[in-house]
Structure 1
Amino acid sequence: MSDLSWVPQSCTLPTEEQPLRVAEWDALFAERLQALSRPQPLHLRLDLADGDGVEAQIQDLAERESGCCSFFTFTITSRKDLIHLDISVGQAHEAVLDALAARTAAGQQR
């Protein structure tokens, strides 16, 4: 799923850097994703396996993503051996969250 047409125009990350950022998220999800759920249409929850430095890595990625895509709200919560990454958006960006969920689910099935 290399097509980045789902990335909204409101994203301020330079176009040439977008594939690199997506690859960072993809690598994190490929290595750590345990479960994915959609509690509400505007809310995605990812359960990631914890490990040495993983929470800091997630925090770093979330902060950088918020810097270019301010429509995302990230909440990180540690629970035992899992880190919950909750991602929410406003109504105008539901399609972006849909694409992110589909991309993450596709990676989970590999």
Structure 2
Amino acid sequence: MHENLTMFSFLNIFRIVAFLEGLSYILLLFIATPIKYMTGNPEYVKLLGMPHGMLFILYIVLAFLIKRDMKWTNNTFLFVLLASIIPFGTFYVERKLLKPATNG
């Protein structure tokens, strides 16, 4: 019973981190970077860069922690990891792989 509570805690944290990591990546790619190159103002990249980097690392660590409990195959796990570098990828992972696990 305690293992399930821990797994669900990590799973819920991973869902939140997946959302925030994806959001920070989109803001960095589609807002901060264009502002940097169009206006020469790197402040938004500096502001979003560190939190995004920390969320990225946390996403990877949490993926490793829940892999066994989620019973992900190596291919699924690789997909989860690669989703963190594809814009909108973590949203897909959250919706297709993580949400069903917390609902069912």
* Fold shared by both chains (TM-score > 0.5): no
Superposition TM-score, scaled by structure 1 size: 0.36
Superposition TM-score, scaled by structure 2 size: 0.38
More relative contact order, 1 or 2 (CA 8 Å, 6+ apart)? 2
